[in-house]
Amino acid sequence: FFWFAFIGGPIGLLMYVTRMNARIIDDMVVNMVDVGEETGELDTMLYKVADTYDEEVAVLTESLTSLMEPILIIFLGGAVGFIVIALFMPLIKLITDLS
């Protein structure tokens, strides 16, 4: 990717061509850069790409958070249960020894 961007820019290749050869970038980004270069609205297209990725990150973060909530509830319930059992076991042993 960096090779194509470094070499392609100074010799006058379009950003679209240099990015098309790099396999790291999504096809959507390459196509939007191509449209932006053709229409002269490259900055607008790059803002749209950034907005798309911002929305994607927000959705992934929200889904990860909703996935972690039940796991944390189960973990905390187990920890509280362990503490309660650890506190009551000596009391039960003491009561059984006294009787």
Higher local confidence (pLDDT), 12 or 48:
48
Integer Cα distance of 28 and 21 in angstroms: 14
| Exposure b/e, 18-36, CB count within 10 A at least 16 = b | bbbeeeeeeeebbebbbeb
Mean pLDDT of 70-82: 97
Q: Is the pTM of this model over 0.85?
A: no
Element (H, E) at 3: helix 2-8
pLDDT confidence tier of residue 1, bands split at 50, 70 and 90: very low
